[in-house]
Amino acid sequence: MYIRGGYNVYPIEVENHLGQHELVDRVAVTGSAAPVLGEIGVAFVVPADAANPPTLEQLRAWCNERLASYKAPDALVLLDELPLTAMSKIDKRALAPAAAEAEKAWER
């Protein structure tokens, strides 16, 4: 869980909705520290078609139709594959450096 602007956001809920988007093959969502909101959501996406990856605007619109607007990701990182632990689970700790970089690029 991360806290965005005083609201609790559960990454699994956002991942479940983003995972249903036709342009998304795999997804992980994490929180990253942000100056004003406390934390922002960063979506790590493996596109279904590398030649036609989703945009942040497409994914935010998709989430806004299905979830509260504060749950939509604020940043997007496209990956060829998600890092996995030895138990074949998504290694969110390995995503932390990329989330910090995405936060630096985020401007609101």
Q: What percent of the chain has pLDDT over 70?
A: 96
- Domain assignment present for 104: no
pLDDT at 24: 98
Q: List, for residues 28-75, the tens digit of each pLDDT value.
A: 999 999 988 999 999 999 999 999 999 999 999 999 999 999 999 999
Number of compact structural domains in the chain: 1
Sequence-distant (6+) residues with CB within 8 A of 35 are none
* 102 in any annotated domain: no
> Is the residue at 106 inside a domain?
no
Q: In the predicted model, what is the mean pLDDT of residues 72-89?
A: 97
Exposure of 84 by Cβ count < 10 A (0-12 exposed, 13-18 middle, 19+ buried)?
Answer: exposed
Checking if the pLDDT of 85 tops 90, the result is yes
- Per-residue pLDDT band at 12 (split at 50, 70, 90): very high
Query: What residue numbers bound the domain in which 76 lies?
Result: 2-97
